[in-house]
């Protein structure tokens, strides 16, 4: 039995149930993933929710894992970059980033890919953005992609290639992109 100050939670991470005993309820989801589960693909950039390097998908929605406490996600489904695809079987967004050279140093890339994957699901579900002109349009404009990805920063400025990678996946039928 855990000590009274320990907090036991169960997260389903990349399809696997993981039970964690946290000594402090203030452990961020990011730190729980990186330090306790050794899933280091999710990056700690600013640790203030400003850069998006720590983006993961929780219950189908993208979040900055540095801003969220692990104890808040007891029972949640979490997908990290490690759960999106695998070597030899990349997810469509991962393959598109490679095809379009959507990275330079690569530090922001996991967060960019996770955010782009969830963003396309949001757009397909009809969620508007600040620049949404027509939610029934067959594809997203480059301005729309840039606006929807504005929470993810790339210090190397690979933005044109990132937009091209997202465009490639966005223009693919949803069933083909899964």
Section 135-150 average pLDDT: 86
DSSP state of 69: B
Predicted pLDDT at 88: 93
What is the helix (H) or strand (E) element at residue 11, kind and residue range?
A: strand 7-13
Predicted pLDDT at 129: 85
Class of the 7-83 domain?
A: alpha beta
Q: In the chain, where does the domain assigned CATH 1.10.150.120 lie?
A: 85-172
144, 131 Cβ separation under 8 angstroms: yes
Going by C-alpha positions, the residue among 30, 161, 44, 150 that lies closest to residue 102 is 161
Predicted pLDDT at 130: 84
**Cα 106 to Cα 126: distance, rounded to the nearest angstrom:** 30
Predicted pLDDT at 96: 97
CB within 8 Å of 16: residues ≥ 6 apart:
none
Residue 159: pLDDT above 80? yes
> In the CATH scheme, what is the code of domain 85-172?
1.10.150.120
**Cα 98 to Cα 23: distance, rounded to the nearest angstrom:** 39
Residue 4: pLDDT above 70? no
CB within 8 Å of 37: residues ≥ 6 apart:
13, 18, 20
Predicted pLDDT at 115: 98
Predicted pLDDT at 1: 58
Predicted pLDDT at 175: 58
**Cα 173 to Cα 100: distance, rounded to the nearest angstrom:** 19
Predicted pLDDT at 28: 98
For residue 60, what are its two tokens? 């189908």
User: pLDDT tens digit string along 13-47?
Assistant: 999 999 999 999 999 999 999 999 999 999 999 99
Q: In the chain, where does the domain assigned CATH 3.10.20.30 lie?
A: 7-83
Lowest-pLDDT range, 65-79, 127-141, 142-156?
Answer: 127-141
User: pLDDT tens digit string along 86-131?
Assistant: 999 999 999 999 999 999 999 999 999 999 999 999 999 988 888 8
Predicted pLDDT at 176: 55
Q: Which parts of the chain are beta strand (E)?
A: 7-13, 16-22, 55-58, 61-64, 77-79
């Amino acid at each position: 039995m855990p000590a009274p100050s320990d907090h036991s939670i169960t997260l389903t991470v990349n399809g696997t149930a993981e039970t964690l005993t946290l000594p402090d309820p203030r452990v961020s989801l990011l730190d729980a993933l990186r330090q306790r589960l050794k899933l280091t693909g999710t990056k700690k950039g600013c640790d203030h929710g400003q850069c998006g390097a720590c983006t993961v998908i929780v219950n189908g929605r993208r979040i900055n894992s540095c801003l969220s406490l692990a104890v808040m996600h007891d029972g949640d489904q979490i997908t990290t970059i490690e759960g999106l695809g695998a070597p030899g079987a990349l997810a469509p967004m991962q393959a598109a980033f490679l095809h379009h050279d959507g990275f330079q140093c690569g530090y922001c890339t996991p967060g960019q890919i996770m955010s782009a994957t969830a963003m396309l699901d949001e757009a397909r579900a009809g969620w508007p953005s600040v620049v949404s002109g027509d939610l029934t349009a067959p594809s997203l404009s480059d301005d729309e992609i840039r606006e929807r990805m504005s929470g993810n920063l790339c210090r190397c400025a690979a933005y044109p290639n990132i937009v091209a990678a997202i465009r490639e996946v966005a223009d693919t039928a949803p069933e083909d992109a899964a």
